[in-house]
Amino acid sequence: MNILVVGAGGQIGTELIPHLQKNYGYDNVIAADVRPEVVERLSNISRSIALDALDVKSYSAIIKENRIDRIYNLVALLSATGEKNPQLAWSVNMGALLNSLELAREFKCSIFTPSSIGAFGNNTPHDNTPQDTVMRPNTMYGVCKVSGELLSDYYHSRFGVDSRSVRFPGIISNGCLPGGGTTDYAVEVFYEIIRKGTYTCQIPENTYMDMLYMPDALEATTQLMDADPATLIHRNSFNVTGMSFSPKELFSAICKRVPSAKFDYNVDPVKDAISASWPNYMDDSCARKEWGWKPKWGMEEMIDDMLSAIRLKQL
């Protein structure tokens, strides 16, 4: 199977590349990004292709030349960045998705495009958020994610495109830093505590959000895409979560390991409104039932692993 990862230079892409190489063979994974040099520096790949996913002609040529069977479309501006320039977020996030779905239809590729907890909004039940529920997000990022879910399901029912996806919560990792998201604090804190011993958080101390450690997020992407389609009742998109905590809970668990760590708060009103509109914890039982989703990492193990990985970086 030949796999193309588009938008490969971000937090997920740089770690998805080696994960896919391990599962499907080193030479069967092609990375493409507007900044190909970033992908080469951060992931285990020697050559990546320069591609702006909005340029459908170049995108099509890459799929054709490399006989691509599966697309991972990771192109997106995240939630906080999207609020700084909503029109740009719509045109990048939706433009890349429409091109990806069209090319998947034309070249008969399967396609994965992540959705997000950002697809939910203030009217969604925040506790045990069901798989099928009210989705009225109040960010441009969320509007794109809901539209993306609908469009991906439409391409499946109308054209038979094998589109599948998950609603990722905040993803915690120690490879490439996330950029412009509301859940970024749960990654940044580890770097700042190791580097400076202090961290100022922009999210209120008692705001709960779902999170997932990167190894589980990677497993989700391959497990879902390799699942027997006959078992799938849903497609776009499945709730998946590994843990849920507030900044206060996370920081007190970090303090048990780094007693000298100091935390304070300088709440960002945009991130406050966004995080308050998202689930506290999602019900991911449909993913568990339909394709065997079972995360391995909880908060305590994640913290131990993050601290040791970031200490090794000698910041």
Residue 229 burial by CB count (10 A; 0-12/13-18/19+): exposed, middle or buried?
A: exposed
- By CB under 6 A, is residue 237 in contact with ligand SER? no
Q: Collapse the DSSP code of 182 into the 3-class scheme (helix H, G, I; strand E, B; otherwise coil) and give the result.
A: coil
Category of 168 on φ-ψ map: left (φ > 0), alpha (ψ -120 to 50) or beta: beta
- By CB under 6 A, is residue 279 in contact with ligand SER? no
- By CB under 6 A, is residue 181 in contact with ligand SER? yes
Give whichever of 31 and 203 is closer to ligand SER, judged by the CB atom. 203
Instruction: Determine which residue in the list 59, 112, 155, 168 makes contact with ligand SER, applying CB under 6 A.
Output: 168
Give whichever of 20 and 80 is closer to ligand SER, judged by the CB atom. 80
Residue 66 burial by CB count (10 A; 0-12/13-18/19+): exposed, middle or buried?
A: middle
Instruction: Determine which residue in the list 99, 183, 236, 244 makes contact with ligand SER, applying CB under 6 A.
Output: 183
Per-residue contact string for residues 139-158; x = within reach of ligand SER by CB under 6 A: --x-----------------
We find the least distance from the C-beta atom of residue 107 to ligand SER, in angstroms, to be 28
Instruction: Determine which residue in the list 100, 131, 182, 236 makes contact with ligand SER, applying CB under 6 A.
Output: 182
Contacts (CB under 6 A) with ligand SER, residues 101-140: 116-118
Q: Is 141 a catalytic residue?
A: yes
Q: What is the DSSP string of 259-315?
A: TT-EEEE---HHHHHHHHHS-SEE--HHHHHHH-------HHHHHHHHHHHHHHT--
Quickly tell me which residue has 């069209």 as its tokens. Answer: 102
Give whichever of 36 and 169 is closer to ligand SER, judged by the CB atom. 169
Instruction: Determine which residue in the list 79, 113, 207, 239 makes contact with ligand SER, applying CB under 6 A.
Output: 79
Tell which residue, 273, 130, 155, has the closest CA to residue 147. Answer: 155
Residues facing 166 on adjacent strands? 238
Cβ distance 30 to 66 under 8 Å?
Answer: yes
- By CB under 6 A, is residue 78 in contact with ligand SER? yes
The one catalytic residue among 141, 185, 199, 281: 141
Quickly tell me which residue has 């990492």 as its tokens. Answer: 297
* # chain residues binding ligand SER, by CB under 6 A: 11
Tell which residue, 230, 223, 234, has the closest CA to residue 296. Answer: 223
Cβ distance 39 to 45 under 8 Å?
Answer: yes
Q: Which whole-number Å values give the CA distances from 287 to 24, 151, 231, 243, in the listed order?
A: 23, 20, 10, 15
We find the least distance from the C-beta atom of residue 77 to ligand SER, in angstroms, to be 9
Give whichever of 43 and 116 is closer to ligand SER, judged by the CB atom. 116
Give whichever of 211 and 261 is closer to ligand SER, judged by the CB atom. 211
DSSP tag of 148: H
Using CB positions, name the residue nearest to ligand SER.
Answer: 181
- By CB under 6 A, is residue 93 in contact with ligand SER? no
Residues facing 70 on adjacent strands? 3, 110
Instruction: Determine which residue in the list 121, 170, 247, 279 makes contact with ligand SER, applying CB under 6 A.
Output: 170
Per-residue contact string for residues 39-58; x = within reach of ligand SER by CB under 6 A: --------------------
Give whichever of 40 and 216 is closer to ligand SER, judged by the CB atom. 216
* Alpha carbon distance 90, 87 (integer Å): 5
Report the interface residues with ligand SER, using CB under 6 A.
78-79, 116-118, 141, 168, 170, 181-183
Active site residues per annotation: 141
